[in-house]
Amino acid sequence: MITLRLNGEDVAVDVPPEMPLLWVLRDVLQLTGTKFACGIGACGTCTLLVDGQARRSCVLPVGEVRGEITTIEGLGREGQHPVQAAWIAESVPQCGYCQPAQILAAVALLGADPDPGEEAVQAAMDAVLCRCGTYPRIRKAIDRCRRR
């Protein structure tokens, strides 16, 4: 059994340690807010937070996870997170499939620096692809969350 600290709770799962966290969440724990899109850590759609840092869960073996995992389901559990509110205010999502990852990537970015420079924003947000092209609105939503 592997015990995870997930969205504020301890969760035990009986899976091989090499199983990627993505599939433990989606197929074992039925938490489908974390999305599959490439499986090789190339697109960032499976991004979640481990101790507040953005990680790609499709290439993260569950046995190697150390720390508190936050998925999109856990982000708003004490009311809508300011980043989620900004995403609504700027009408960011289109198809919405990559948006849990975009939101969590932005949460990690703003958690590390509440007023990030353009280079830091690019480094964080280039890590998550969006096929619908919501990038201009992601930029606006992040600006809305800045604390100067």
Which member of 63, 80, 113, 146 binds another protein (CB under 8 A)? 80
By CB under 8 A, which span of 49-57, 97-105, 108-116 interacts with another protein?
97-105
Which member of 94, 111, 120, 144 binds another protein (CB under 8 A)? 94
* Dist CA 106 CA 113 (whole Å): 10
Closer by beta carbon to another protein, 10 or else 62: 62
* Dist CA 10 CA 60 (whole Å): 19
66 CB burial (10 A radius; 0-12, 13-18, 19+)? exposed
Which member of 8, 17, 27, 64 binds another protein (CB under 8 A)? 27
Contact status: 146 vs another protein (CB under 8 A): no
Beta-bridged to residue 55, according to DSSP, are 48
